[in-house]
A and B are shown apart, each in its own frame.
Chain A
């Protein structure tokens, strides 16, 4: 069984973004100087693949990461977990917020990895995607799709995914080939790599795969990308409680009681 994990990476969410924009004359984000890391969803997808590999030794895992040499840190993080193959592919100028251009590029990357039975990715593919890209890719390729799965296992040779849909938890058997977007859950927290593998990976050569030029015209264009201040709510001034803790708690309890009983609106 061939499993391909697509990993996007994000700007470290703990980093306070102060400036961001489009590179001059392009529609590419200028992320120079910003630290990148795997997103929790990338990690969940990668761990899901590793679990499948552990459960069935015939599972072959390939990891593919888009981007330039700046993405090597993400690739090396994945390589330290010993997938069968890992490579980086250039994005050929595809802007991360054009879903059709990105889906064509990801499809080409999957083609470069081989014929997959299963493609895994985090539920959002990087900082420019909000969940559109992966169902679009599956639809364009004719693959079955399961969005926001929190678990995936093999049962009698079939892929069985678990997902939440509002109040219900669903279990679904997926025909192959399938694309599953994975959400973070306790069961798929990414394991730590062995230190010796981390050291070996630091010296390992990076495989780079060139993508075919995407000659399709684009119909969606980015005008601007700007950092936004936190949303303003209410009067924008918080009433901080003061005094002895018991008195603060009493006032806070009275406040909550008002909301519970519908006395406050």
Chain B
């Protein structure tokens, strides 16, 4: 049985940090099984102009550009659900649908599973196909364990991150355009966007450098110093779950299995132990530098450079040196 592997890509919402990661992941999965991947790109007309080219760069062989004149900016999840369901509901071919990581991709995957009668596989680290069977590898227990699941259901939906190796681009993809005019849900509540506070932290999931603090910071004072260092490094400030829980950093700064997934060039971990739950939110390709008072801390097992001393002694000196540049 040949299963169609299709990335579903919502466009035009800045909350989805890397929408085309789903296309790269679909291509990676398809290529490993000698198949081609497809991509269904959904957005307002202005957002799909360059989308086919970007999907081809991620290796999609069949690209469908879908738009609807009534889409909000950004599109509401209910609108995306209605359109994807309309397009895929009558599909007879077995499907493996792949959505991008993050809160919107994950909600879409779960709710589409209910509408399409598909098996939701969750946030997977790898997928394998063998005849009618799909095998999914998925982190569990906060990233401390791996669960292997299998299903022969004709429709499956997974969320996947960008693969470590970039896929080969497609030079001549088959591109089709669909302008749908179905009725969109009209009773969906529209969120209002709060005005951004002047001191709102930089976005952690799109930063090239991240300076992050953990439980060992001991209070908000340490985070003030982290923010100062981050400013000097042109970096975003992140935090572990316990630090967010304690109120030393905002919920949008939380990195880890249950927070943002970040892929900076360098991740500076300060006063954090390096739990699997936290490390699961940092891309494998990111390099890690660590400062921790405990030379036996697990974070040093994954860092490439380490400074074993209390942050209270290190950060002021480091800030002073960076200021002198």
* A→B interface (CB under 8 Å): 10-11, 13, 17, 20, 40-41, 97, 99-100, 123-124, 127-136, 138-140, 144-145, 147-148, 150, 162-175, 183-186, 189, 219-228, 230-236, 238-241, 245-246, 248-250, 252-253, 255-257, 259-260, 264-265
Contact = CB atoms under 8 A, between A and B. Distances in A.
B191 A241 contact: no
How many B residues touch the partner, as a band?
Answer: 35 or more
Contacts, number: 269
A265 B303 CA distance: 15
15 contacts: A127-B141, A164-B251, A165-B15, A184-B241, A184-B245, A220-B149, A220-B150, A221-B151, A223-B148, A228-B143, A233-B302, A234-B287, A240-B307, A250-B321, A255-B305
Nearest to B264: A259
Contacts of B121: 220
B140 A225 contact: yes
Nearest to A237: B304
A262 to B, nearest CB: 9
Contacts of B15: 165-168
A260 B289 contact: no
B140 A256 contact: no
Contacts of B106: 130-132, 135, 147
B110 A139 contact: yes
A166 B287 contact: no
B93 interface: no
A168 B295 contact: no
B53 interface: no
Contact of B142 (A13, A221, A223, A240): A13
B258 A249 contact: no
A260 B234 contact: yes
Contact residues of A: prevailing secondary structure: mixed
Contacts of B114: 136, 139-140
B189 A171 contact: no
B307 A221 contact: no
B275 A13 contact: yes
Contact of A231 (B190, B205, B258, B284): B284
Contacts of A162: 194
B321 A172 contact: no
A223 B119 CA distance: 16
Interface stretch (B36-44, B62-70, B165-173, B311-319): B311-319
A227 B13 CA distance: 36
B252 interface: yes
The residue among B209, B265, B304 with the most chain A CB atoms within 10 A of its own CB is B304
A128 B302 contact: no
A164 B252 contact: yes
Contact of A249 (B284, B298, B303, B314): B314
B205 to A, nearest CB: 8
The residue among B13, B143, B258, B275 with the most chain A CB atoms within 10 A of its own CB is B258
Contacts of B252: 164
A40 B241 contact: yes
Contacts of B13: 165-166
Given A231-B284, A253-B322, A223 B150 contact: yes
A135 to B, nearest CB: 4
Contact of B119 (A185, A219, A232): A219
B17 to A, nearest CB: 7
B139 interface: yes
B20 interface: no
B134 to A, nearest CB: 10
A38 B230 CA distance: 33
Contacts of B153: 219-220
Given A184-B244, A220-B151, A246-B317, A252 B305 contact: yes
